[in-house]
Structure 1
Amino acid sequence: MERNSAVVGAVRRLRTQAPQQDHYYQRQRRHPEKDDEGWHGKKPGAGGLPRLLPEARASLVLLLYLVGLRVLVHISFLRLLQRPRDPTEFDAFRARAYLENITAIGPRVVGSPENEILTVNYLLQQIKAIETESNNVHKISIDIQRPTGTFSIDFLGGFTSYYDNITNVVVKLEPRSGAEHAVLSNCHFDSVPNTPGASDDAVSCSVMLEILHTLSKSPEPLQHAIIFLFNGAEENVLQASHGFITQHHWTQSIRAFINLEAAGVGGKELVFQTGPENPWLVQAYISAAKHPFACVVAQEVFQMGIIPAETDFRIYRDFGNIPGIDLAFIENGYIYHTKYDTADRILTDSIQRAGDNILGVLKYLAKSDNLAKSYEYRHGNVVFFDILGMFVLAYPARVGAILNYVITALAVLYLGKKTLQLRKRAVNYLKELAIAFFFTVLSWLTTLLGILIVAVFISLIGRSLSWYTQFYVSIFLYGTAALAKLIFVHSCIKKFHYKNTNEQFLGEVFFDVSLVFWSVMLALFTYLGFCSAFVSAIWVAFPLLTKLMTYKEFKEKGATMKFLLIYLLGMFVPCLYVMYLSWITYEMVIPIMGRSGSEIPPDILVAASVVVSSILLSSYFLNFIYLARSTKKTVLTLTIVFAVAFILVCSGVFFPYSSDLTNPKPKRIFLQHLSRRFHDLNGHLTKSDSGIWINGLDYSGMSHVTPHIPELNDTIRTKCEEESPFCGLPWILPVNHLFRKNWYLPAPVLIPKASAQFQLLSKEQMPWDATKLTFEISGPSHMSLYLRPRPGVTLSRWSLGDGTPFANTDGDYFVYYSHGLQALPWRFWIEMKASDEPVKGMVTLGIATHYCFGEDQKSPQLHVLLERFPNWTVLSSWVSTYDQFIF
């Protein structure tokens, strides 16, 4: 009996100890040991259990924290400036007068009298007035350039340009004794059709006029010249800047440039491109700009092609081999390139801010010794970013790489030391860290997938862009759902996988998971050469500092409210900066969704970006899910907010567009009254039609317009002419891959008064087994040429670009043509090579005309139709013709 009692007692002891021995972390709930966790044997909290955060108070603090961050970001975007009292400083009121006079001319389309005569005459009048008032220490030279040329760039899938007799107004301000070197300041005074183009780019030209006025009256001489280029054909895809940099005799002296652009109407002007290389240019901006706003993240995003746009910066960089700075207004892109882009919508503070910055930088460069030797200062890229618009931090990319690797090493040292402290438990710790990392990534992926399913559903039921006018709808719809999903997934993991595990240890492990993730990202981005890796560096360095700040409180008392407040204080910088970057991104990207085409559902893009922002901001706060007493109320509240937003969005309460004249956010629609003629190999007309070709520039197409104009429905969707280049449609730019949903409403045939003339001048058989076709075209100032070689035929050479034909991904060739007021007929040739004797011709050629201004711009049918569109739309329209031939 005694022996049996001993056996029974041993079994009972084993049963008591088994759960603790089966899982080391279960034991940590009751017996935290210094050699395992680095904590004292003292048990935190009452009753020996770890103290956990109260859900309601912790959630409220976190909410207020996020709201506070958003308020600070909002304040940083305000333009609180004082008017200058010194007459030698930039005067925004005088610049505004220039702006109002330029925009009063109306739309300034290349080739129109408004652009080529009225605007040019106004600029010359103001420049000559400035010259008469200038100080004698300066000399002002004026030149009118009208270049002709051609080039190709990789833009929108393949693009070749030809321009003839376009206009540039060029002014040089230099010391009376002359200057060997110069800095260039560039703006463009032309606009797209149907818009006064106040922000893009009349305000920049007005700023340049005022800078010229200010500098010319200064008694202080410059060391180098400043060349002011008022270019007259940027909207024709960078033609005037190409004509200037490749042909003007002053360009040999240019050592750097500043390009002034716009992606929105007013606001702060963002430095979004610099270089290539030349860190001294960034230092010049930092030293001289009074109100800096610059970020290398924007530069890398733009240069990766994520935003489908180009500026004159590319021309000066690629064709002039000149380093520079690219600036653009980014606020309120909803009315960019619309009739609402008027002078009164640009705040005087925005003009003053831009003028102060650009004047300061130009003066700095014009007195800099580095300018004369700019080619000697190409020492790699530079990391630069502003701190809430107050000042800019910048350092060479190679220094940044060293700093990033040092920070990564500190994170590895922290994790390594912590692992070594566990001694015999190190393998178990690494195993649990790997499991926690897996759960974290799983939570991110499931959250992203779940939110994308919601976005797809909303797109399928026709409720896309519900957040377009009020962006916060996307936060309530996708942001709350993302957070609810993240918290729910981790709460389930805590409940079912970590059922009896010490909560403090879980808080430590999931903090380490985020640290591991950001350290890996930091090392990877640094290795790949991304200057934007500094963001990851912030998300490693400050959390390590936060860990040091909270160590004592957490070790002794557990997860208290004091611990939470200290933690939030330590995470203030990275959280604020990520929110700042996110808001800059949304400020630029959300308006672009209104003109991004009909193929990519914008809700998917916005949902994904909101989820990514949520993941970034919450990455170091997931550990609080394991340190909280409960998350039920938080998940329930977020779910209710999401459900209400989802129901309201699905019911159509949030209409995408706004007709509010004080802050319009319209739907963009493009219409062309089009007459088409198709000819066969013998020149005989085989088919012709006429109608109004309609493109909605966003994903919703005509769904919101159909109730107002019932005939604009899917029964008149445009059919693609499969055998024709670009579907046999008169695209003014090669963007057919973005706008596959378009409509063709039958209308009477229209023959413009200034009709185009097209002819084949000659056909020659070349000695190198090629056929050379020479053509001549005359017509309006805007035309597009489309080429598709027939099967078995290749286009080997042509007289355009650099002589090498540039095709898009479909194998079609696109040429954009424009000319000024007067031009000779456009003559060009192409060479074709055939593998076999072609029986159905060698090439299909289409020529489209675009009457963007003047008496041919609008037809009576267009006028009638335009009047029927609702007031929340903004319309761009003109008359076009399309002729197709086979040779």
Structure 2
Amino acid sequence: MLEVLHVLSTSPEALHHAVIFLFNGAEENVLQASHGFITQHPWASLVRAFINLEAAGVGGKELVFQTGPENPWLVQAYGSAAKHPFASVVAQEVFQSGIIPSDTDFRIFRDFGNIPGIDLAFIENGYLYHTKYDTADRILTDSIQRAGDNILAVLKYLATSDMLASSSEYQHGKMVFFDVFGLFVIAYPARVGSVVNYMVVLAAVVYLGRKLLQPRRKTAHYTKDFLCGLGVTLVSWFTSLLTVLIIAVFISLIGQSLSWYTHFYVSVCLYGAAAVAKIVFIHSLAKRFYYVNASDQYLGELFFDISLFLHCISLISLTFQGLCLAFVSAMWVAFPLLTRLCLHKDFKEHGAGGKFLVCYLLGLSAPYLYVLYLIWAVFEMFTPILGRSGSQIPPDVVLASLLAVCAVILSSYFINFIYLVKSTKRTTVALTLVCAVTFLLVCTGTFFPYSSDPASPKPKRVFLQHMTRTFHDLDGKVVKRDSGIWINGFDYTGMSHVTPHIPEINDTIRAHCEETAPLCGFPWYLPVHFLIKKNWYLPAPEVSPGDRAHFQLVSKEQTPWNSVRLTFEVTGPSHVSFYVRTHKGSTLSQWSLGNGTPVTSKGGDYFVFYSHGLQASAWRFWIEVQVSEEQPAGMVTVALAAHHFSGKDKRSPELDALKERFPAWTFPSSWVCTYDLFVF
């Protein structure tokens, strides 16, 4: 940003529009700085478009993974100006589906400012993201140069564009967009994409329909074989997925999850080989026992038609749902169909000879190369994320499923070769052997998940919170008080690999959920308890931070609309989490926060995150509780967690000592916090 600012400020070229460079802080404080700018700054109302720079990794290509909304001219601007484009509507729809547990300033500008924009992010080497290894020296100069070339070019294009002044006039619908191997961007309106998709479907229907219009005897024979082949293909896909899932679940149960985290090839050899082997095996059985008397050429053509039909169904389904990523399925129908039509005569006369094979592979090269390009980006982004996706979802199950889907897609137009070759025995045996050997090596713990290699570190992330908890009853008396170091591992392996180094962190100190307390009675920084339920609580002395949080009930009053308003006041450190749980017969009707409508977290409790700068007055707010029946045990439980993230209050001798004992392949983050619970 600084270099682009320098270039623009010293350039003699006049810009038609002003450019604001916004350097946001407080991003991990739930994007507060961008929210502050777009809702409070006097310039905010003048902004017509924005480019948001993000990172989910350390360098590499910067991916355009969000645009708009409903402003296709922005995509066209990027496509026209970017020198090294890397953009995909697939990434946009995957990100906006919520699968990736992340958020960016893009949402703030879009939802609170109603401003269209472009979201770019570095995605390579996400293993280092938000760790001590995430340093400037690890970002290649080429990555900065590439990003600078793209951003400067797009910025100049927008700043001299006539569209920017009246951008609302060009707002219409979604856009299909994707780059072609970084050379250029193809972009067109989603409604045009739907028309193209249905035209491709129509062509496939005509092609398949002609075979059903043959003489009756041939048609009946073809239809029967087609339906049986369709069943065999679906069975091969289902059993392929089932096989890798069984392996993945077994690997997870024996404690060898994430064996591929540092060595990705392990997942390909284990799950990829198993998926392909099962597909080949099922079709080999069908060829041997069912299609005994059919000719190889007939079977090759039949299973090509089946693959075309299944991709056609996928295309119809995705288009009907309004997903722009349907263009990928359109490629998998259009290119193979065109190739088959061009080679049909040659195949009839000479069979699957060398010339046919070369031409067939060339015809399929476009969809295959593009999908491989997409698959690379998917695994580049997703693999590191699986190392910080919580303790609830087995990452091996996720990765095995992805690899099985990849195997199904990539094998679809090669299934027919199983019926064209004399034998698949060697292929099946080789794949099975690769899978079996890898499986044995994984089971014996040969592949350690993490690495502290300075050249390519892949650390395990751990949160350590030294806390003191105090629980009060309805009369304000302390009924429970304890202290300890609360330990959260951010991946599925928990503390199993850490226990040999720190024996006291084992299942005997697993943290138990306080059923009557909001969010299990722990000081969550953000409400991620639905992702992390395996945690540990190691007893330790009490903490007494200097800037301790003070929480008090200022007033309790009955409202004319028959609810009880509780007004609270909080002082303390810069980061505070406030939790609310209503008792049976009570509901939280409104509060003085946000737009006044309370919103629950995924666990059903109410969660509020509050932070302030170095100087701040007391935080005063109220909640209203509607009571439908008498509550002898109180109507609501509230709790306050105060997080000390900086200064001397952040540390404790016990916390520092424990942190030092963690092995080099971990990245522990630590701080001090307090937790106070009250009933009213």
Give 2:625's match in structure 1, choosing from 818, 824, 832.
832
Answer yes or no: is the 8 Å Cα contact 2:563–2:624 preserved in 1. yes
Q: Find the counterpart in structure 1 of residue 474 from structure 2.
A: 681
- SS in structure 2 at match of 1:622: helix
Give 2:280's match in structure 1, choosing from 483, 487, 495.
487
Give 1:627's match in structure 2, choosing from 407, 412, 420.
420
1:143-162 deviation per Cα after TM superposition (whole angstroms, max 9, x unaligned): xxxxxxxxxxxxxxxxxxxx
**1:483 deviation in Å?**
0.8
Answer yes or no: is the 8 Å Cα contact 1:549–1:566 preserved in 2. no
Identity of aligned residues (%): 66
Q: What CA distance in whole angstroms lies between the structure 1 residues aligned with 2:536 and 2:600?
A: 26
Q: Find the counterpart in structure 2 of residue 720 from structure 1.
A: 513
1:239-279 deviation per Cα after TM superposition (whole angstroms, max 9, x unaligned): 11111111111111111111111100111110000011110
2:38 is the counterpart of 1:245: yes
Answer yes or no: is the 8 Å Cα contact 2:530–2:602 preserved in 1. no
Q: What CA distance in whole angstroms lies between the structure 2 residues aligned with 1:809 and 1:316?
A: 25
2:315 is the counterpart of 1:522: yes
Higher relative contact order (CA closer than 8 Å, sequence separation 6+): 1
Q: What CA distance in whole angstroms lies between the structure 1 residues aligned with 2:491 and 2:345?
A: 55
Give 2:337's match in structure 1, choosing from 537, 544, 551.
544
Give 1:297's match in structure 2, choosing from 90, 108, 124.
90
Greater Rg by CA? 1
Give 2:133's match in structure 1, choosing from 323, 332, 340.
340
Q: Find the counterpart in structure 1 of residue 462 from structure 2.
A: 669
Give 2:57's match in structure 1, choosing from 259, 264, 270.
264
2:232 is the counterpart of 1:439: yes
1:267-304 deviation per Cα after TM superposition (whole angstroms, max 9, x unaligned): 11100000111100000101111111000000000011
2:559 is the counterpart of 1:559: no
Q: Find the counterpart in structure 2 of residue 855 from structure 1.
A: 648
Q: Find the counterpart in structure 1 of residue 21 from structure 2.
A: 228
1:651-693 deviation per Cα after TM superposition (whole angstroms, max 9, x unaligned): 1111000110111001111100011000001110000100000
**1:403 deviation in Å?**
0.8
1:405-461 deviation per Cα after TM superposition (whole angstroms, max 9, x unaligned): 111111111111232234542233222212211110111001100110011000111
**1:562 deviation in Å?**
2.8
Q: Find the counterpart in structure 1 of residue 294 from structure 2.
A: 501
- SS in structure 1 at match of 2:21: strand
**Structure 1 range deviating more: 239-248 or 740-749:** 239-248
2:636 is the counterpart of 1:843: yes
- SS in structure 1 at match of 2:118: strand
Q: What CA distance in whole angstroms lies between the structure 2 residues aligned with 1:792 and 1:229?
A: 48
- SS in structure 1 at match of 2:464: strand
2:404 is the counterpart of 1:616: no
**1:858 deviation in Å?**
1.2
Q: What CA distance in whole angstroms lies between the structure 1 residues aligned with 2:641 and 2:295?
A: 73
Aligned AA (1:566): C
Aligned AA (1:805): P
**1:553 deviation in Å?**
2.8
1:756-784 deviation per Cα after TM superposition (whole angstroms, max 9, x unaligned): 11111111111111111110001111110
- SS in structure 1 at match of 2:493: coil
**1:528 deviation in Å?**
1.2
Listed as ranges, the matches of 1:416-495 within 5 Å are 416-495=209-288
- SS in structure 2 at match of 1:272: strand
Give 1:604's match in structure 2, choosing from 381, 397, 401.
397
Answer yes or no: is the 8 Å Cα contact 2:530–2:603 preserved in 1. no
2:157 is the counterpart of 1:358: no
1:90-135 deviation per Cα after TM superposition (whole angstroms, max 9, x unaligned): xxxxxxxxxxxxxxxxxxxxxxxxxxxxxxxxxxxxxxxxxxxxxx
Q: Find the counterpart in structure 2 of residue 763 from structure 1.
A: 556
RMSD (Å) for aligned C-alpha atoms? 1.0
Listed as ranges, the matches of 1:307-386 within 5 Å are 307-386=100-179
Q: Find the counterpart in structure 1 of residue 437 from structure 2.
A: 644
- SS in structure 2 at match of 1:794: strand
Answer yes or no: is the 8 Å Cα contact 1:549–1:570 preserved in 2. no
Answer yes or no: is the 8 Å Cα contact 1:549–1:567 preserved in 2. no
Listed as ranges, the matches of 1:405-424 within 5 Å are 405-424=198-217
Q: Find the counterpart in structure 1 of residue 68 from structure 2.
A: 275
**Structure 1 range deviating more: 750-759 or 716-725:** 750-759
**1:810 deviation in Å?**
3.1
Listed as ranges, the matches of 1:109-188 within 5 Å are none
Q: Find the counterpart in structure 2 of residue 92 from structure 1.
A: none
Give 2:575's match in structure 1, choosing from 782, 788, 791.
782
1:45-87 deviation per Cα after TM superposition (whole angstroms, max 9, x unaligned): xxxxxxxxxxxxxxxxxxxxxxxxxxxxxxxxxxxxxxxxxxx
Answer yes or no: is the 8 Å Cα contact 2:277–2:428 preserved in 1. yes
**1:749 deviation in Å?**
0.6
Q: What CA distance in whole angstroms lies between the structure 2 residues aligned with 1:422 and 1:231?
A: 71
TM-score, with length taken from structure 1: 0.76
Q: Find the counterpart in structure 2 of residue 586 from structure 1.
A: 379
- Deviating beyond 4 angstroms after TM superposition, the runs of 4 or more aligned structure 1 residues are none
- SS in structure 2 at match of 1:308: coil
- Ranges in structure 2 where 5+ consecutive residues have no aligned partner: none
2:182 is the counterpart of 1:398: no
Count residues in correspondence: 680
Answer yes or no: is the 8 Å Cα contact 1:245–1:319 preserved in 2. yes
- SS in structure 2 at match of 1:619: helix
Q: Find the counterpart in structure 1 of residue 593 from structure 2.
A: 800
- Ranges in structure 1 where 5+ consecutive residues have no aligned partner: 1-207
**1:500 deviation in Å?**
1.4
Q: What CA distance in whole angstroms lies between the structure 1 residues aligned with 2:223 and 2:67?
A: 44
Q: What CA distance in whole angstroms lies between the structure 2 residues aligned with 1:363 and 1:769?
A: 59
TM-score, with length taken from structure 2: 0.99
Answer yes or no: is the 8 Å Cα contact 2:390–2:490 preserved in 1. yes
1:179-233 deviation per Cα after TM superposition (whole angstroms, max 9, x unaligned): xxxxxxxxxxxxxxxxxxxxxxxxxxxxx12111111111122111111111121
Q: What CA distance in whole angstroms lies between the structure 2 residues aligned with 1:809 and 1:794?
A: 17
Aligned AA (1:791): K
Answer yes or no: is the 8 Å Cα contact 1:695–1:741 preserved in 2. yes
**1:548 deviation in Å?**
2.5
- SS in structure 2 at match of 1:594: coil
Q: Find the counterpart in structure 1 of residue 664 from structure 2.
A: 871
Q: What CA distance in whole angstroms lies between the structure 1 residues aligned with 2:602 and 2:486?
A: 24
**Structure 1 range deviating more: 780-789 or 521-530:** 521-530
Q: What CA distance in whole angstroms lies between the structure 1 residues aligned with 2:130 and 2:353?
A: 54
**1:520 deviation in Å?**
1.3
Q: What CA distance in whole angstroms lies between the structure 2 residues aligned with 1:422 and 1:621?
A: 29
1:810-842 deviation per Cα after TM superposition (whole angstroms, max 9, x unaligned): 320000111112111111000111001221112
- SS in structure 1 at match of 2:445: coil
- SS in structure 1 at match of 2:671: strand
- SS in structure 2 at match of 1:369: coil
